[in-house]
Structures are given as structure tokens and as C-alpha cells.
């Protein structure tokens, strides 16, 4: 409880974790992201909202350079995490992704055991020196993802055999197991039922204590519930960015207002 209050207060004083300036993304000839500049704070949940195809997922994937895997995708501009340019030629995207974890829209556990799913990241990054430490990391990560109690009896069972909500929480456990500093979530609840969604949202709020969380969502209620900052994207532009309360109650831009009130999108 005590921690919660500290976290709440931190919202005001957090420093900038991710700073993007004039980011442009092209898919071939399609200009998908236009001039986006945004400053994302540490220990804050930032929600990206906007209609389908507005570029919010694309922008999210720029932050851990997942777009590198798409051949036709070109990114220009400047994205800095802790003042370091992540598109600098000296940056190894693999190292970056260890620092910037990601949870995907569709739950995608590895077709391995629950234990191996969580242990995979720590293993390849050498975070554990022995089996005991690895066990500890796995348990801690599963606890953080609020799924420990459900799976502790069957860590050897396949991760793909879990229900959709459990799978997504397993993916979150997998993402936090590598101790990232930023957690990117691309519509993590779109495949989940309301109960699982509530669990994941609770979890996101928990994660805020340690991470800077960026979440893409189609649900405005969700954005309002979990985020402290909200960015509204429309047709590749960042239309409005600010405190979640402000955006939802007092939007400056007419497009934001139309979207929030359900007139576009």
C-alpha cells in the first residue's frame, strides 16, 4: 500500500525515459508515421489510442526496433532511451530488445513448457548462474504476472495448453523475466475475456512500479483505467498527447474529441 502512494506521487516527477523526435516510418512508399515527437516518462503507463491503421502499433514497434525485421520498412528520425539513440549504427537491436520487452497482441507462448517459456530469456542473457537462481527468476516473474498460483503445480506442462488469458499472462511473465526497463504492450487484451482483461490491467498497474509501460489499445475505457498519459494517433500523426484525465475530459483537438465520443474510428 505504501508503495502505491509513492508510485502515484511519482507521476508528477518522473523523468523522461523514451524521447522520440520527428520520427517518420515508411512501408515501401506508404508514409505510415508522420513527424511523431513524444516524450514517454519512466514508471508511467502511457496508452496509445487511435483508430485501426493509424500507426500506433507501428510506432510501438519502432521503440524496440521490431520493424527491422520487415524488409520494406524504413525508419528515420530520432528515438532515444535514456538519452541514447537506439537507431545509432553502434546499437545492437538484440541488446536493445533485452532492455525493451514486448508483449504481443496475440498470446504467443513458445511451444515449450511453462517453465522454459519464462526461463528462455534469462537463459540466453545469462541472468542466472545456476538452476536455483533460474527457478527463483521464473517464480518471481510468474508471480509478477499474477499467474504463479495457477501454474505452480504444472510448470512442466506446455505453455500452449493454457487458456488465452493465462497464455497472455505467461507472455507477460516471459517479458518481465529478462528485467527490461521498458515494457511495450501491443493490444495485450484484445484476445481476452473481461475477467482476464481485468487481471492483465491490474498487472499493468503493478508493473508501473518498476517499468515504463507503453500500451496500445483499442479500448478507450482501458486507456482511461490503466494509463497516466495518453497519446492519440490519427492517420499517422500524433494528434494529441497529455495526461489521460485531460485527454478524456478536455481534449484540445476536435479529432480527439470525435474519436473519444465515438464519432470517428
Per CB under 8 A, residues contacting another protein are 64, 66, 69, 71, 94-95, 97-99, 101-104, 106, 108-112, 120-121, 124-125, 158, 160, 171, 174-175, 177-178
**Please, what is the minimum distance in Å from the beta carbon of residue 260 to another protein?**
29
**Please, what is the minimum distance in Å from the beta carbon of residue 167 to another protein?**
11
Pair 147, 169: CB distance under 8 Å: yes
Pair 240, 39: CB distance under 8 Å: no
Nearer to another protein (CB atom), residue 92 or residue 149: 92
Q: How far is CA 52 from CA 13, 88, 129, 255, in A?
A: 33, 30, 44, 15
Nearer to another protein (CB atom), residue 177 or residue 260: 177
Q: Of 9, 57, 66, 13, which Cα lies nearest the Cα of 33? A: 57
**Please, what is the minimum distance in Å from the beta carbon of residue 97 to another protein?**
4
- CA dist 127 and 125 (Å) reads 6
**Please, what is the minimum distance in Å from the beta carbon of residue 214 to another protein?**
14
Nearer to another protein (CB atom), residue 64 or residue 244: 64
In the chain the beta strands, taken as DSSP E runs, fall at 16-27, 30-41, 45-49, 73-81, 84-85, 100-103, 182-186, 212-216, 229-234, 237-243
Nearer to another protein (CB atom), residue 101 or residue 236: 101
**Please, what is the minimum distance in Å from the beta carbon of residue 104 to another protein?**
6
- CA dist 88 and 262 (Å) reads 40
Pair 171, 200: CB distance under 8 Å: no
> Would you give the DSSP letter of residue 165?
H
**Please, what is the minimum distance in Å from the beta carbon of residue 158 to another protein?**
5
Q: How far is CA 234 from CA 49, 78, 154, 237, in A?
A: 9, 20, 44, 5
Nearer to another protein (CB atom), residue 87 or residue 120: 120
Nearer to another protein (CB atom), residue 31 or residue 99: 99
**Please, what is the minimum distance in Å from the beta carbon of residue 124 to another protein?**
6
Record the cell numbers describing residue 251, joined without a space.
481534449
Nearer to another protein (CB atom), residue 60 or residue 224: 60
Amino acid at each position: 500500500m505504501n508503495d502505491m502512494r509513492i508510485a502515484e506521487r511519482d507521476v508528477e516527477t518522473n523523468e523522461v525515459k523514451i524521447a522520440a523526435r520527428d520520427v517518420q516510418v515508411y512501408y515501401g512508399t506508404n508514409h505510415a508515421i508522420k513527424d511523431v515527437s513524444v516524450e514517454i516518462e519512466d514508471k508511467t503507463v502511457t496508452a496509445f489510442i487511435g483508430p485501426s491503421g493509424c500507426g500506433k502499433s507501428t510506432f510501438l514497434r519502432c521503440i524496440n526496433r521490431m520493424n527491422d525485421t520487415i524488409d520494406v520498412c524504413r525508419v528515420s528520425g530520432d528515438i532515444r532511451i535514456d538519452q541514447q539513440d537506439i537507431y545509432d549504427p553502434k546499437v545492437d537491436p538484440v541488446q536493445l530488445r533485452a532492455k525493451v520487452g514486448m508483449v504481443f497482441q496475440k498470446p504467443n507462448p513458445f511451444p515449450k513448457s511453462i517453465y522454459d517459456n519464462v526461463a528462455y530469456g534469462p537463459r540466453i542473457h545469462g541472468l542466472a548462474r545456476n538452476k536455483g537462481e533460474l527457478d527463483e527468476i521464473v517464480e518471481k516473474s510468474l508471480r509478477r504476472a499474477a499467474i504463479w498460483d495457477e501454474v505452480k503445480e504444472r510448470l512442466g506442462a506446455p505453455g500452449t495448453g493454457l487458456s488465452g488469458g493465462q497464455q497472455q499472462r505467461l507472455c507477460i511473465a516471459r517479458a518481465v523475466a529478462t528485467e527490461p526497463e521498458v515494457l511495450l504492450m501491443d493490444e495485450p487484451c484484445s484476445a481476452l475475456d473481461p475477467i482476464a482483461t481485468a487481471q492483465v490491467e491490474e498487472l499493468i498497474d503493478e508493473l508501473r512500479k518498476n517499468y515504463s509501460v507503453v500500451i496500445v489499445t483499442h479500448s478507450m475505457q482501458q486507456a482511461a483505467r490503466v494509463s497516466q498519459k495518453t497519446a492519440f494517433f490519427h492517420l499517422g500523426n500524433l494528434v494529441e498527447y497529455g495526461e489521460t484525465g485531460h485527454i478524456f475530459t478536455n481534449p484540445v483537438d476536435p479529432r480527439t474529441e470525435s474519436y473519444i465520443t465515438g464519432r470517428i474510428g
